[in-house]
Amino acid sequence: MATSLPPLAAGAAACCSPVTAGVLAVDDAERIARIFKALGDPTRVRLLSLIAASEGGEACICDLTEPVGLSQPTVSHHMKQLVDAGLVTREQRGKWAYFAVVEDALRNAAAALRTV
User: Rounded to an integer, what distance in angstroms lies between the CA atom of residue 78 and that of residue 83?
Assistant: 9
SS3 23: coil
Q: How far is CA 53 from CA 32, 50, 59, in A?
A: 23, 5, 9
Taking the model in full, what pTM does it have?
0.74
Q: Using N-to-C axis directions, what is the helix angle for 72-84 and 26-38, rounded to 10°?
A: 160
* 27-83 tens-digit pLDDT: 888 888 888 899 999 999 999 999 999 988 899 999 999 999 999 999 999 999 999
* 5-27 tens-digit pLDDT: 666 666 555 555 555 556 778 88
Whole-number pLDDT of residue 20:
52
SS3 46: helix
